[in-house]
Amino acid sequence: MRKAGLFAILLLLMLVFVLPVGAQEKPVSITLEREPCFGTCPAYSLTIYEEDGTVEYNGLSSVEVEGQQTSQIDKELVAMLVEGFADAGYFEWEDRYDTMFVTDLPYVTTSVTRDGVTKEIFRYVGDDSAPIELAYLEVWIDKVVNSKQWTGKEPFIYYHSRDRQEVMQLDRGECAADDEPCPSYLLTVFDDGLVVYLGIEDVAEVGVHTGTVDAEAVAALADEITEAGYFEWDAKYGDADSDSPIVVTSLLWDEQYHEIIRHIDASTAPEALIALEDRIDVLVNVSQWVDGAEGS
């Protein structure tokens, strides 16, 4: 019996040493899990490993690819995500935001490990006591790992508030070529003047930042966009197979909602649309985050 016990221990030790590195436990830096809702919200999980940037995806429902997939991102991007979460205040926030002010919305769970300390936050997206930055940090993970390649959908910012309403959004996508800088970022402007910025690539400030603008200026620009014909324009301009970057805008105003996807090489897009994209940048003074120059 004693020999059998020693043999079992030796066998266990041999298995530990001969298992491939990928099969042994690796330190996890970031996780994201999106649960189903009453509808077609994509349900999936993402795990990002610290030592080599491995990304593990598991698609559950309402996604293009179900089951497990893997990819890899640069280790520098992993470190950037971790520090961006810390800078936003993630480690100081509550562990749970789960009050149901409205029903049938999804849950999102994130975790971040920094200097050996792991913080996990469970969020019901209908609980507006959660910091609004948290919803954008969640989407930042999606964008960095390109979860769209598996979900088939652009990551959606799930945040429901009783006190403010999103009015306009501007999302400038990444460039396919690496030969010149191509600032990629997401802006959301609310009716009370709150601005949330998410910097992705080729910008002075990556991660999530907030600011404020005059609420009357927000309303004036929304009226101007409406009068220019925004709600009558097409939902898409350009070839879906094009490698050119896309700019996505949306407007929620006067009980109307419209989203427009524009490939920057699309010759049929209204010139007024391009001008309005730039007007949103000017309204929020995006140069303070993209170029690093306040008021430039």
What does the pLDDT look like over 201-253, one tens digit per residue?
999 999 999 999 999 999 999 999 999 999 999 999 998 777 788 999 999 99
Distance separating alpha carbons of residues 259 and 156, to the nearest angstrom: 13
Does residue 255 form part of some domain?
yes
By mean pLDDT, which of 158-172, 176-190, 262-276 is the weakest?
176-190
Q: Are residues 100 and 170 in the same domain?
A: no
Does residue 11 form part of some domain?
no
Q: Are residues 51 and 125 in the same domain?
A: yes
The sign of the CA dihedral 230, 232, 236, 239 is negative
Does residue 122 form part of some domain?
yes
Q: Are residues 188 and 273 in the same domain?
A: yes
Q: Are residues 134 and 72 in the same domain?
A: yes
Q: Which of 129, 161, 193 is the last residue of a domain?
A: 161
Q: Are residues 157 and 34 in the same domain?
A: yes
Q: Are residues 144 and 67 in the same domain?
A: yes
Q: Are residues 296 and 169 in the same domain?
A: yes
Does residue 18 form part of some domain?
no
Q: Which of 127, 146, 161 is the last residue of a domain?
A: 161
Q: Output the domain CATH number for residue 83.
A: 3.30.1560.10
Q: Are residues 149 and 180 in the same domain?
A: no
- Average pLDDT score, the chain: 89
Q: Are residues 239 and 258 in the same domain?
A: yes
Q: Are residues 157 and 27 in the same domain?
A: yes
pLDDT of amino acid 39: 84
Q: Which of 109, 138, 161 is the last residue of a domain?
A: 161
CA torsion angle 96 99 104 107 (round to 10)? 0
Q: Count CB atoms within 10 A of the CB of residue 195.
A: 20
How many domains is the chain built from?
Answer: 2
- Is the separation of the CB atoms in 187 and 130 below 8 Å? no
Helices (H) and strands (E) in the chain, counts: 7, 14
Query: Residue 75 belongs to what domain range?
Result: 23-161
Three-state SS sequence of 267-296: CCCCHHHHHHHHHHHHHHCCHHHHCCCCCC
Bridge partners, 185 (sequence order): 172, 199
What does the pLDDT look like over 132-173, one tens digit per residue?
999 999 999 999 999 999 999 988 898 888 899 999 999 998
Distance separating alpha carbons of residues 208 and 198, to the nearest angstrom: 5
